[in-house]
Structure 1
Amino acid sequence: MRRQHSPRRGYTLVELLVVIMIAMLLMVVSLPVVKTVMDDARPREASRILNSTLFTAKSRAAFTTRLAGVEFVMQAVGDTTMNPTTYQCTQMYLCEVPAMYAGDSTLSQATINVDTQSPSGSPRSPNTFYNYKLYLMDGPVGNSLPSSSDSTTKTANYLIDQDIFEIRFDFRGPWYTGHRIGTESFTVDIPGNPPPCVMSSTNPPNNFCRSAPFQIRRPPQRVGNAVELPRGTAIDMMFSGIGQQGEDFADTSALRIMFTPEGSLLNYTRMNRQMMGSPVAATNPVLGTAHFLVGVPQKVTGRQEEAMGAYTYTDASKSNIADFNALWVSIGRASGVVTTNENAPNPTFSGDPSMNAIRQSYIQQCRQYATAREQKGGR
């Protein structure tokens, strides 16, 4: 006797609608949680990229036995007409100091003509910088003194793209700052009297011209392509700096930090904001741990909010330094060790938050908390 099977029963439209409604409700409930997780992950990934870029720069310095570092590309935030302007960074470049340059020929030599001295005057003061025309020649100068109207030869053409460099004579002694003026004309700044090895002059009279071998140290150059932080993240330069309270990286349109071949931090260069004229590069020694605050762009408010009377750096909804999800990437000065640590959004303080001392105390407590904590897991 054959067993009879009942026909397969399908889902009704009502059942399907109930299942869809339940799925939609679960999605609506879980969306804020997913968004929070994604928001938390962005600064974490940005800190990994910054950490990796800094480590690569250290490794490059050790491999090439030359200074190497990271150049931070700054982006102005908010109203750029306000003073001070607030900056963030979402893009970086590796950079390194090129190999030493000593001319295109083994016979290349350098000299100056002290008759081109500016400012004029004698005797020269050891505390005053004097500017002279610099001649980079393919060989010794000989007995003919270069005139103030002479241009340099092939050796100088190698430096055609260098606006500023450092030079020393006879492979020893101090380094002097050199400048490119025009296409094939160079000058050098020397405090006090020039070194005798290159002191070509008719006053006092000489019966021969002097020249000497030279070495030129060029500024760091970018290496490779740009390193981009994940979309929706930024390094908040307003609260980044050196030591426990420093805001050394704020209000600067360009920043570069350099490592020695031994792995320690050497210096940082920033473009100082000028009241008149173009910004001027200033290189400073690193005297403490360097701290970078990694957060999100919409919370890079800086002092622009303060200028309007709303001091927002203690507000977690408006400020990276008050945000639990922000992270500190720190570089030890002597060791060069890079660590990533949690931010402390609720330090204790009392007083008017508009005061500079109160803000610096807030920053100090955040950094102390970060450096005292163990490195955050997974970073």
Structure 2
Amino acid sequence: MRFEEENNSGRQAAGDSPIPPSAFRLPPLGMTLVELLVVIVLVTTLVSTAIPIISPGGDNRKLRESSRNLNAYLQGAQARAIETGRPFGVSFQRLSADTGSGADNAVCVRMEYVEVPPWYSGFSPTSAVRISPAWVPTDTSTPPNRLFYDPSSPIAWRRIGPVWIQFVQRGPTPNGSKMPPGWVSDLTPPQFFRPGDTIEVHGQRYTLLDRAQANSNSADLTVRSVDGYYPGTVSGSVTTLLAKPEGLPNGAPIEQLPTLAIKYDANGNAVSSSSPYDEPFWTEPTPYKIYRQPVSAGGEPLELPTGVAVDLQASVFGNGTRVYQPHVDYVESAVSFTPRTDNVMVLFSPEGSIDRVYGLVDATGQEVPPTTVTSYLALCVGRRDLIPAKPRDAVSQAAYAEPIDLYTDVVQPGLNETEATELTDQYNWLNLETRWVLVGGQSGSVSTIETSAPYYAGATNNILMQAQLGAALENAPRRNKAGSR
């Protein structure tokens, strides 16, 4: 009772206090909304200011990451070739195929996987081809008039050019077919072959041509506008395609192609040395293999970030062969480039080395047949806005061929280091932020290096692009030999 009375008296005293209870409250914890917003603004400002200082430049970072991604993408293709036992690789797609602008011929921002389909040798066990020498494109008749063959005059076959290839198989020879005894026409599937495929007969390879390349009106050479494939055998006819021997120029001596031995005339009669026969003349039907060009293999494509591209103009092989030179497509009268739609394709063999490279163009603008590679391939990963390289001189085909000469543009004018750097940074192969992805032609090793600084001090002669590329890739052979990935 006493405790309760004291307690009640205490509560009464506190309740009678003249100081209001709110006077004893603690200050509020945390910050007001305005204070919080001020702090956020300050932190954001500090971070946005500090990041560019403590991290690599944006372009440099994108180039480094892009080269790393390309390196991994190429290694993925190499692994697939080893796994499948068939050539597998990467297609570098020209941006000009999408934009329609020839100025983008050397720009590649998208890559995809491609593979070589299995070779084809006909549907029948007796499928074969026979070959007839054809002299085109100087002759536009249909069919082209071939050289008259007289067995008593061997000079008639001393020179060779493109050849007609006709698909046949064993069977009862119909009357009037003009086939050798025991042979009939063979079917070829539609949308299966296309110009650029190669056919191998007796160890000699021939590249199939289209009507434009052959300058011929033959319906068999007409390709579909949708996909570029031959139409296949028309019912009741025989497919005859035109091809060019690989590794032999037009007009090469016939002795270089001993397998081109004439056996039959135009009517299927066996020729002999007794009298002249009617043209065209054909070889003995022989088994063959057709190696088709790479096709899309599916899978996720690799797309480079905005502002970065593979520079096909600067990409080069270790032996000095260029992947593409923009000046070959520059038309001075139109002050523009002729757009290209073909792709550059790098195929790996089942052993992991480079099997072949498709889509190369030589210094005269001629397409190079699928090429085997013995030296390394250096793919230039640089800035998109520097492709094609802008010439220092007046715009012309010659100027695009040699856009900058380090001797006449840097040494002779006496540019200091800063001025020289500002100039050379405008060319991907001279820009020190550029990365190079190297692929060993025989080893198959994939590595990435930075551009080596070019040495031009004290130069007394022209330093043109070939020498510039050599200087930029100064460390490439050592890195490639080491097999660094």
Q: Do the aligned partners of 1:258 and 1:268 also contact (CA within 8 Å) in 2?
A: yes
**Residue 42 of structure 1, CA deviation:** 1.7
Q: For the structure 1 residues 333 and 143, does the alpha-carbon distance in structure 2 shift closer, same or farther, using more than 3 Å as the test?
A: same
SS of aligned partner of 2:118: coil
Q: For the structure 1 residues 136 and 247, does the alpha-carbon distance in structure 2 shift closer, same or farther, using more than 3 Å as the test?
A: closer
Q: What does residue range 1-379 of structure 1 map to in structure 2 within 5 Å?
A: 4-8=24-28, 11=31, 19-20=39-40, 22-30=42-50, 32-33=52-53, 36-76=56-96, 87-112=106-131, 118-122=145-149, 123-132=155-164, 134-140=165-171, 142=173, 146-147=177-178, 155-158=187-190, 160-169=192-201, 172-179=202-209, 181-182=221-222, 183=231, 184=233, 185-189=239-243, 192=254, 195=259, 199-201=263-265, 205-206=269-270, 210-225=284-299, 227-232=301-306, 233-243=308-318, 245-251=320-326, 253=340, 254-272=343-361, 280-304=367-391, 307-308=394-395, 311=404, 315=423, 317-344=425-452, 346-350=453-457, 355=462, 357-372=463-478
Residue identity matched to 2:111 = M
Q: Do the aligned partners of 2:404 and 2:465 also contact (CA within 8 Å) in 1?
A: no
> Per-residue CA shift, 1:111-137, capped at 9, x if unaligned?
3567977542444445422433x3323
> Per-residue CA shift, 1:31-64, capped at 9, x if unaligned?
6348845433322222122212222222233233
Partner in structure 1 of residue 17 of structure 2: none
SS of aligned partner of 1:272: coil
Residue identity matched to 1:363 = L
SS of aligned partner of 1:92: strand
SS of aligned partner of 1:39: helix
The share of aligned pairs that are identical, in percent, is: 22
Paired with 1:214 and 1:245, the residues of 2 have a C-alpha distance of 35
Paired with 1:112 and 1:312, the residues of 2 have a C-alpha distance of 50
Q: Do the aligned partners of 1:104 and 1:138 also contact (CA within 8 Å) in 2?
A: no
Q: Do the aligned partners of 2:314 and 2:429 also contact (CA within 8 Å) in 1?
A: yes
Residue identity matched to 1:30 = A
Q: Do the aligned partners of 1:100 and 1:217 also contact (CA within 8 Å) in 2?
A: yes
Question: Which protein has the larger Cα radius of gyration, Structure 1 or Structure 2?
Answer: 2
Paired with 1:239 and 1:32, the residues of 2 have a C-alpha distance of 29
Q: Do the aligned partners of 2:322 and 2:362 also contact (CA within 8 Å) in 1?
A: no
SS of aligned partner of 1:175: strand
Q: For the structure 1 residues 118 and 256, does the alpha-carbon distance in structure 2 shift closer, same or farther, using more than 3 Å as the test?
A: farther
**Residue 339 of structure 1, CA deviation:** 0.3
Q: Do the aligned partners of 2:197 and 2:207 also contact (CA within 8 Å) in 1?
A: yes
Structure 2 unmatched runs, 5+: 1-9, 15-20, 135-142, 150-154, 210-219, 223-230, 234-238, 246-251, 273-281, 329-339, 407-420
**Residue 12 of structure 1, CA deviation:** 6.8
**Greater percentage in strand:** 1
Residue identity matched to 2:344 = L
Q: Which 10-residue stretch deviates more, 290-299 or 116-125?
A: 116-125
TM-score by length of 2: 0.61
Q: Which 10-residue stretch deviates more, 203-212 or 30-39?
A: 203-212
**Residue 364 of structure 1, CA deviation:** 1.5
Paired with 1:297 and 1:203, the residues of 2 have a C-alpha distance of 60
Q: Do the aligned partners of 1:94 and 1:224 also contact (CA within 8 Å) in 2?
A: yes
Residue identity matched to 2:298 = G
**Residue 87 of structure 1, CA deviation:** 1.0
Q: For the structure 1 residues 168 and 364, does the alpha-carbon distance in structure 2 shift closer, same or farther, using more than 3 Å as the test?
A: closer
TM-score by length of 1: 0.76
Residue identity matched to 1:349 = Y
Q: For the structure 1 residues 109 and 143, does the alpha-carbon distance in structure 2 shift closer, same or farther, using more than 3 Å as the test?
A: farther
**Residue 226 of structure 1, CA deviation:** 6.1
Residue identity matched to 2:187 = T
SS of aligned partner of 2:298: strand
Paired with 2:172 and 2:207, the residues of 1 have a C-alpha distance of 22
Q: Do the aligned partners of 2:376 and 2:480 also contact (CA within 8 Å) in 1?
A: no
Q: Do the aligned partners of 1:62 and 1:260 also contact (CA within 8 Å) in 2?
A: yes
Q: For the structure 1 residues 267 and 351, does the alpha-carbon distance in structure 2 shift closer, same or farther, using more than 3 Å as the test?
A: farther
Paired with 1:352 and 1:202, the residues of 2 have a C-alpha distance of 66
Paired with 2:40 and 2:266, the residues of 1 have a C-alpha distance of 97
Q: Do the aligned partners of 1:141 and 1:211 also contact (CA within 8 Å) in 2?
A: no
